[in-house]
Amino acid sequence: MELFVADLIERFYTALWPFLRIGAMLIAVPVLSIDAVSVRIRVLLTLALTLMIYPMVEWPTIDPVSAEGLAEI
């Protein structure tokens, strides 16, 4: 059970970055940034786009404590 929880937490954190980037992009789009589009619609659209894009992203496995990992940060 702990392996499932650890995997779920890892997937959440890897999906968080695309979610934030897509959300920022949708805020900047003039058509969606007006008050006529509710926040719920924008969040659902961001979540849907993230779920569509997430399987296509190749996640590198870099140890954050290594020299390469510190260079990435």
pTM of the model: 0.68
pLDDT digits (tens, 9 = 90+) for 24-61: 998 888 887 777 888 899 899 999 999 999 888 877 66
Q: b/e per residue, 3-26, with b = 16+ CB within 10 A?
A: eeeeeeeeeeeebeebbeebbeeb
User: What per-residue confidence (pLDDT) applies to 69?
Assistant: 66
Higher pLDDT: 26 or 62? It is 26
pLDDT digits (tens, 9 = 90+) for 6-29: 788 888 888 888 899 999 998 888
